[in-house]
């Protein structure tokens, strides 16, 4: 595997943790939470400042970035559940506010981590491997742990209530479930995972930037859709919850592989946003067209099944 493709796989896995956060809000609550763009950068900014300015251990810095993401999710959750602000608008408000907060946190537009120890350099030193390999190994380990914890949590009573809230909110209210609490917890967990991913990406690329979260929600949606499309290619499809979580991470890896291959073929890096939008659009359109084609073929010429 070339260095570029290895780097794409490593980045895809780390971004896959963010995709798992988007999966919670988008697939469970049917909310495209735009807080993601801000909380991703917040996780990276907090982790960078914790490592550079405070001199904290890299693991502690990542945990602080995760906590910062949780707080951002709670803010969006409170705006939505306590003040009845539509979820998408609450996410936009938080995202806009986080731009200024991230600048306040770093005191400038970017913070380099060139001479700072990170989770990946530490693992690379312990195992005696290159940093791209260490990044992939750490990413796989963390992604596996996150998927296992999510699989367990969403099988508990509160986790099942959160999943039910997205399926039928009115029925949940009728059953006595406080949907405001379930939404608040879901948004907090979602943005906590996004902040975790931002902190890891920050340490991986050795710098934090105020704009590092721009377009994160698009990447998250693209990865989820790609994962679902790939899942349909598996005989019988993918329906188990654990498989759907895994497919989201796989979709992230495939997305970054596509980007890396296209860049190697000579695409202008300035067109990457256009490519991202095109990937999402194609991934959304193809399943619909295939389903319509199958529906037409299922009818005989006489109009009977």
Q: What is the pLDDT of residue 157?
A: 93
| Count, residues in the chain | 305
pLDDT at 303 over 60: no
Beta pairing, strands 207-209 & 110-112: antiparallel
pLDDT category at 283 given cuts 50, 70, 90 is: confident
pLDDT at 83 over 60: yes
pLDDT category at 79 given cuts 50, 70, 90 is: very high
pLDDT category at 287 given cuts 50, 70, 90 is: confident
Q: Span 238-250, mean pLDDT?
A: 88
Token pair recorded at residue 282 = 């194609």
Q: What is the pLDDT of residue 278?
A: 83
Asked, for residue 8, whether it belongs to a domain, the answer is yes
| Residue 253 to residue 87: CA distance in whole angstroms | 28
Question: Global pTM?
Answer: 0.93
pLDDT tens digit sequence for 267-276: 787 887 788 7
Q: Span 48-67, mean pLDDT?
A: 95
Nearest to residue 72, comparing CAs of 34, 110, 28? 34
pLDDT tens digit sequence for 121-170: 999 999 999 988 999 999 999 999 999 999 999 999 999 999 999 888 88
Q: What is the pLDDT of residue 304?
A: 52
Asked, for residue 72, whether it belongs to a domain, the answer is yes
Asked, for residue 199, whether it belongs to a domain, the answer is yes
Asked, for residue 170, whether it belongs to a domain, the answer is yes
How much is the mean pLDDT over the chain? Answer: 90
Asked, for residue 271, whether it belongs to a domain, the answer is no
Q: Span 7-22, mean pLDDT?
A: 95
pLDDT at 228 over 90: no
| Residue 35 to residue 75: CA distance in whole angstroms | 9
Domains identified in the chain, total number:
1
Containing structural domain, residue 55: 3-214
Paired strand residues for 111: 208
Asked, for residue 293, whether it belongs to a domain, the answer is no
Q: Name residue, tokens 């980045």.
A: 11
Q: What is the pLDDT of residue 286?
A: 77
Asked, for residue 249, whether it belongs to a domain, the answer is no
Asked, for residue 253, whether it belongs to a domain, the answer is no
* 3-state SS string for the chain: CCHHHHHHHHHHHHHHHHHHHHHHHHHHCCCCCCHHHHHHHHHHHHHHHHHHCCCCCHHHHHHHHHHHHHHHHHHHHHHHHCCCCCHHHHHHHHHHHHHHHHHHHHCCCEEECCCCCCHHHHHHHHHCCCHHHHHHHHHHHHHHHHHHHHHHHCCCHHHHHHHHHHHCHHHHHHCCCCHHHHHHHHHHHHHHHHHHHHHHHHHHHCEEECCCCCCHHHHHHHHHHHHHHHHHHCCCCCCCHHHHHHHHHHHHHHHHHHHHHHHHCCCCHHHHHHHHHHHHHHHHHHHHHHHHHHHHHCCCCCCCC
């Amino acid at each position: 595997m070339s260095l570029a493709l290895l780097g794409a796989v490593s980045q895809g896995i780390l971004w896959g943790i963010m995709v798992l956060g988007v999966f919670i809000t988008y697939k469970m609550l049917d909310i495209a939470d735009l807080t993601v763009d801000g909380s991703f950068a917040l996780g990276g900014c907090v982790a960078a400042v914790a490592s550079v300015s405070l001199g904290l251990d890299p693991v502690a810095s990542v945990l602080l970035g995760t906590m910062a993401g949780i707080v951002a999710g709670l803010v969006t959750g409170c705006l939505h559940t306590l003040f009845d602000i539509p979820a998408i608008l609450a996410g936009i408000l938080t995202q806009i506010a986080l731009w200024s907060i991230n600048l306040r946190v770093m005191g400038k537009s970017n913070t380099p981590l060139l001479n700072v120890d990170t989770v990946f350099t530490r693992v690379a030193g312990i195992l005696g491997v290159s940093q791209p390999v260490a990044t992939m190994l750490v990413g796989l380990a963390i992604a596996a742990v996150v998927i296992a914890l999510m699989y367990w949590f969403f099988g508990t009573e509160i986790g099942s209530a959160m999943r039910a809230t997205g399926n039928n909110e009115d029925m949940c209210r009728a059953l006595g479930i406080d949907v405001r609490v379930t939404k608040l917890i879901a948004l907090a967990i979602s943005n906590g995972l996004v902040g975790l991913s931002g902190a890891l990406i920050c340490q991986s690329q050795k710098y934090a930037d105020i704009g590092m979260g721009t377009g994160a929600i698009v990447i998250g949606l693209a990865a989820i859709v790609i994962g679902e499309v790939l899942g349909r290619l598996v005989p019988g499809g993918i329906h188990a919850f654990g498989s759907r979580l895994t497919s989201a991470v796989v979709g992230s890896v495939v997305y970054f592989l596509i980007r890396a291959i296209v860049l190697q073929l000579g695409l202008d890096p300035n067109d990457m946003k256009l490519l991202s939008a095109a990937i999402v659009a194609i991934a959304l359109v193809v399943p619909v067209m295939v389903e319509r084609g199958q529906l037409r073929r299922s009818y005989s010429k006489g109009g009977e099944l």
